Amino acid sequence: MDAAAATEYVESRAMTLSPEEFELLCESVLSESLPSARFSVTAFRQDGGIDIDGRIRNSLLDVSLGVQAKQYGSSNTVGSPEIQRFQGALADTGCDTGTVITASSFTTPAVESAERAGIHLVNGSELFDSMINLRVGVRRQSTRFEPDEEFWSLFGEPGEAGVIPSKRVPLANSFETLDAVLSAIGDTRGEKDDIVESAGASPRHADLYAIAGWVLGFVHQEWPDEESHRQRRWSLTRSGARYVAYRAAGLDDEAEILLLDGIRNAEIIERLVNSLSESGSLGHSDLVDFVASESELSRSSAKRRGSSVGIWLARLPEVSVENGREKRYVWNGS
């Protein structure tokens, strides 16, 4: 593809994303454009509010930035009322400056309102051109571009039909460590060194618990594992940011609801629950066999992960655990 075709390609792919995925895409573009800054989607969605928080901090600057991302079609322009509401949201949250990013364009009154308010505007043409320049969603091959399918595959739900990839079977048996890693991802740029320093986790646990957050739908992986020129980076999804905010505020009941939803939606747990609800109970060795049969894991690898899977399963209120010669998981749901 030449540059024009590549721009059309990233636009078409961006418009197939869900609204939250589009926000995560914008967050990725912003992070690539300002490597020293920290960006993350906000925990709560409000009309006219902030979709992405940004912080630019160095020895000369300490600036907070609010970003709104609008996944509008080309015929749906952003008008001045939306800019004015966004200006109010910036004032309410104490942001120093703000940016509105849209996949479409802005009306003339909207541009005038933004100029008066000191709000920066990024239209669809500028957004997609930036993606090409920053190599977000495409790869450069000499003078041509090619799709970066690995990048786009990072969007969407982790679960899928068929054999479950090993990465989607959790190896994380401490919810306290999970909370610490999620908080670290939210407070930093989300690279491994950041997580290790902020959460006090080992490099291995930084990876394993970030992946566990991804399985729960709390974390988005910024770049594919195979990328050699970029360091893998994690960012919180809106559900993940909300979960971290609830935990920080001591709203444990609300946080638990989100956690249980994430556990139930994990593919291996969903399949286990379906089996358990039919059989009534399941021994731990049966659980290990089930994990081995439903995933890419060998039985020895499934055995190592069985402890984590069992802990996640037992977290559900509809499942209880009986300890005897062998641990058994008992279905208590309706």
Using CB atoms within 10 A of its CB, is residue 111 exposed (0-12), middle (13-18) or buried (19+)? Answer: middle
Helix (H) or strand (E) run with residue 93 in it: helix 80-93
Nearest to 110 by CA among 86, 132, 130: 86
Tell me the pLDDT band of 159, cut-offs 50, 70 and 90: very low
Most confident of 14-23, 137-146, 161-170: 14-23
Q: Would you say 232 and 192 are in contact if contact means Cβ atoms under 8 Å apart?
A: yes
What mean pLDDT comes out for the span 173-201?
Answer: 95
Amino acid at 139: R
> What are the pLDDT digits (tens) for 200-231?
999 999 999 999 999 999 999 887 665 555 67
In the chain, where the domains are located: 3-153, 166-331
pLDDT of residue 70: 95
Paired strand residues for 40: 53
> Distance between CA atoms of 10 and 44, rounded to whole angstroms?
27
Of the options 3.40.50.11540, 1.10.10.10, 2.40.30.10, 1.10.3720.10, the CATH number for the domain spanning 166-331: 1.10.10.10
Q: In what order do the strands lie in the sheet with 319-322?
A: 281-283, 328-331, 319-322
The CA distance from 38 to 55, in Å, is 5
Q: Average pLDDT, stretch 156-174?
A: 81
**Which one of 44-53, 100-109, 214-223 scores highest in mean pLDDT?**
100-109
Topology adopted by domain 3-153: Trna Endonuclease; Chain: A, domain 1 (3.40.1350)
177 or 159, which is more confident: 177
pLDDT tens digits, one per residue of 278-318: 999 999 999 999 999 999 999 999 999 999 999 999 999 99
Q: What mean pLDDT is reported for the chain?
A: 92
Express each pLDDT in 108-140 by its tens digit. Answer: 999 999 999 999 999 999 999 999 999 999 998
In tens, the pLDDT along 25-45 reads 999 999 999 888 899 999 987
Predicted pLDDT of residue 283: 95
Q: Cβ–Cβ contacts within 10 Å for residue 152, how many?
A: 19
40: amino acid identity, one letter: S
